[in-house]
Amino acid sequence: MVVCYRFAFRNVDAKKEGMVSRKIRIFVGLTKKDTKMHAYVFPGQGAQFVGMGKDLYDNVPLAKELFEKANEILGFSITDIMFAGTDEQLKQTKVTQPAIFLHSVILAKSLGDEFKPDMTAGHSLGEFSALVAAGALSFEDGLKLVSKRAQAMQKACEQNPSTMAAIIGLPDEKVEEVCASIQGVVVPANYNCPGQLVISGSNEAIDEACKKLSEAGAKRALKLNVGGAFHSPLMEPARVELEEAIKAAPFAQPICPVYQNVDAKPYTDPEKIQKNLIAQLTSPVRWTQIVRNMLADQATLFTELGPGSVLQGLIKKVDRSAVCESKQTL
């Protein structure tokens, strides 16, 4: 627990103390109080919508500058698609991932001195946003890695036709057990909240898993409209491709701990952060445990930065008493 001090005073009668004014407050010492810990969280793929980030572009000079810089780095006008494109254009992985990253990170930077995180975390893609917001990566390097990640994932999806499915209403252990019993590739991919786990794998293995999990009592076993088996062994070609880019990027010590997807633990060491980020593409997102660990480390307010409010909902399902808010603009 982090502890700070506050000044403590008591009221006295000035006449009794032989002083001029009638009522004063005198300093009597220091008392301890618990610090409020502010956690900032960043969404992943699926939260995008047409118009995202436009308010920042129109009203915050720094935001406009960063969006224009992003267009140059990416080699195409992503702002045209973000602000006035079609849903289909925005759904392209090579567009979706940089778009969500940009909205989240530019919003954090637009907050200026108001952005004072005690801890950060991001869901899947959102981990890159969390690292840049916390200063572990520069804006430019973060965007280049996100773009590289999106392209590598798209390529891996085309090599291995695959998908994901949301399993609702079963304990994590039961889902793990059923996945392990199936021939072919199917694994838990996103531990989103208690009773909600996303599995990932080949088309045939996902179909079989959904059937068996429904028979085991799942309230829903719903295939998702995604183009690949993210956070599964089928992403190995993408992991290998991204590894070199991550190793080449300069990482710095963040201004606060970043809770990483692979094991839900907080990190500040640049080398460990880098290693965990390399493993992320083929490892599950342990979001439930991240939220529990943040709460155990005294998080008192969660602020979600970027499009949508999915993470706010998931955090509330982990702990109903958690205080959450979502921000899409200033």
Looking at the chain, the whole-number percentage of residues with pLDDT higher than 70 is 89
Per-residue confidence at 33, pLDDT binned at 50, 70, 90?
very low
Please report the pLDDT score of residue 182 as a whole number.
96
For 224-278, what is each residue's pLDDT tens digit?
988 789 999 999 999 999 999 999 999 999 999 999 999 999 999 999 999 999 9
User: Vertex 259, ends 272 and 327: CA angle to 5°?
Assistant: 135
What is the pLDDT of the chain when averaged over all its residues? 90
Domain spans of the chain? 3-34, 37-158+231-327, 161-223
Q: Does position 58 have pLDDT exceeding 60, yes or no?
A: yes
Least confident of 91-100, 167-176, 212-221: 91-100
The amino acid at residue 69 is K
**Which residue has better confidence, 30 or 96?**
96
> The domain 161-223 is classified under which CATH number: 3.60.20.30, 3.20.20.140, 3.30.70.250, 3.65.10.10?
3.30.70.250
| Mean pLDDT in residue range 82-101 | 93
Q: Does position 32 have pLDDT exceeding 60, yes or no?
A: no
- Number of Cα atoms under 13 Å in the Cβ half of residue 241: 16
Report the alpha-carbon distance of residue 60 to residue 86 in Å, rounded.
Answer: 24
Per-residue confidence at 93, pLDDT binned at 50, 70, 90?
confident
| Mean pLDDT in residue range 77-96 | 93
> The domain 37-158+231-327 is classified under which CATH number: 3.40.50.150, 3.30.160.270, 3.40.366.10, 3.40.50.11890?
3.40.366.10
**Residue of 104, 110, 123, 124 marked active site:** 124
The model scores a pTM over 0.75: yes
Looking at the chain, the whole-number percentage of residues with pLDDT higher than 90 is 83
Least confident of 55-59, 67-71, 227-231, 277-281: 227-231
**Residue of 129, 200, 202, 231 marked active site:** 231
For 196-214, what is each residue's pLDDT tens digit?
999 999 999 999 999 999 9
Q: Does position 27 have pLDDT exceeding 50, yes or no?
A: no
Please report the pLDDT score of residue 28 as a whole number.
37
Least confident of 7-11, 46-50, 263-267, 296-300: 7-11
Is 104 one of the catalytic residues? no
CB 209 within 8 A of CB 165: yes
Please report the pLDDT score of residue 2 as a whole number.
35
Q: Which two tokens stand for residue 121?
A: 């975390």
For 151-182, what is each residue's pLDDT tens digit?
999 899 888 889 999 999 999 999 999 999 99
* Dihedral sign of CA atoms 55, 58, 61, 62 in order: positive
| Mean pLDDT in residue range 84-98 | 92
Q: Which residues pair with 185 in a beta bridge?
A: none
Is 124 one of the catalytic residues? yes
CB 232 within 8 A of CB 209: no
Q: Where are the alpha helices (DSSP H) in 35-138?
A: 54-59, 61-74, 78-84, 87-91, 93-110, 126-133
DSSP-assigned states of every residue in 254-308: -SS-EE-TTT--EE--HHHHHHHHHHGGGS-B-HHHHHHHHHHTTEEEEEEESS-
Please report the pLDDT score of residue 34 as a whole number.
57
Q: Does position 136 have pLDDT exceeding 90, yes or no?
A: yes
Q: Does position 1 have pLDDT exceeding 50, yes or no?
A: no
